[in-house]
């Protein structure tokens, strides 16, 4: 277990006014038999993993292979002042605002972000007391203690979303979204699962991987 509360990302959505029909749920395994239990449709998948030399190498290769990114991808950089969990949740929600009712706070944030670049979006998030306070309220209502500072540095969140027929990995430490190739509307979970497996295969001895899916449950 990663020591991350199963409800960690579910609450910030609610706190921020996101439609209750969509929730983050644990993905207990990445084989097809276990993926079948994840409610569909899936709008995003978040992977929490420990950064290592091997995962960095894989991420860099895919970044270098990415030649084109759709203009419709919402992407923001992550800065020191931003929790990567928050950035992962925003990447998941704001790339699906056409199907998920994201509420007033995030609609305004998305609108403010629309005219600025990914680095400026990170600054907007740092200066958003509303999002910060709601995320803090959500985080403090989780059952497990927050990871220690040492762990926080090591563990990282990335989101996988489907935009305009391609699956993108959104990692705020990178300069832009990373394309993992074509993806049909019903393939996001299975393709994201394969990508998560590729990251896990980088460090076979490492157990601290957590995968959650943003699913429509009602």
Residue count of the chain:
218
**Which one of 84, 113, 183, 196 is the catalytic residue?**
84
Round to whole Å and give the CA distance between 194 and 192.
Answer: 5
Catalytic-residue membership of 156: yes
**Is 84 annotated in the active site?**
yes
- Contacts of 171 by beta carbon, 8 Å cutoff, 6+ apart: 59, 78, 156, 158, 178
Q: Are strands 22-26 and 178-182 parallel, antiparallel or unpaired?
A: unpaired
Burial of 81 (0-12, 13-18, 19+ CB in 10 A): exposed
Integer Cα distance of 44 and 87 in angstroms: 13
The 3-state DSSP class for residue 170 equals strand
Q: Which of 113, 135, 156, 183 is catalytic?
A: 156
Instruction: Please say whether the beta carbons of 183 and 191 come within 8 A.
Output: yes
Catalytic residues: 84, 156
């Amino acid at each position: 277990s990663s020591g991350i509360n199963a409800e960690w990302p579910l609450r910030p959505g609610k706190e921020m006014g996101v439609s209750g029909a969509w929730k983050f749920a644990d993905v207990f395994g990445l084989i097809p038999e276990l993926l079948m239990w994840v409610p569909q449709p899936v709008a995003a998948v978040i992977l929490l993993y420990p950064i290592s030399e091997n995962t960095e190498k894989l991420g860099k290769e895919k970044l270098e292979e990415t030649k084109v990114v759709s203009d419709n991808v919402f992407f923001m950089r992550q800065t020191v002042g931003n929790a990567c969990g928050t950035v992962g949740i925003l990447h998941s929600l704001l790339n699906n605002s056409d199907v998920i009712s994201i509420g007033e706070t995030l609609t305004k944030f998305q609108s403010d972000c629309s005219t600025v670049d990914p680095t400026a979006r990170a600054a907007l998030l740092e200066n958003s007391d509303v999002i910060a306070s709601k995320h803090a309220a959500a985080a403090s209502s989780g059952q497990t203690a927050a990871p220690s500072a040492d762990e926080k540095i090591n563990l990282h969140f990335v989101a996988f979303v489907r935009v305009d027929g391609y699956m993108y990995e959104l990692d705020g430490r990178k300069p832009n979204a990373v394309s993992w190739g074509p993806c049909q509307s019903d393939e996001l979970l299975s393709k994201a699962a394969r990508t998560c497996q590729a990251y896990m295969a980088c460090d076979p001895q490492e157990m601290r991987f957590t995968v959650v899916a943003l699913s429509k449950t009602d």
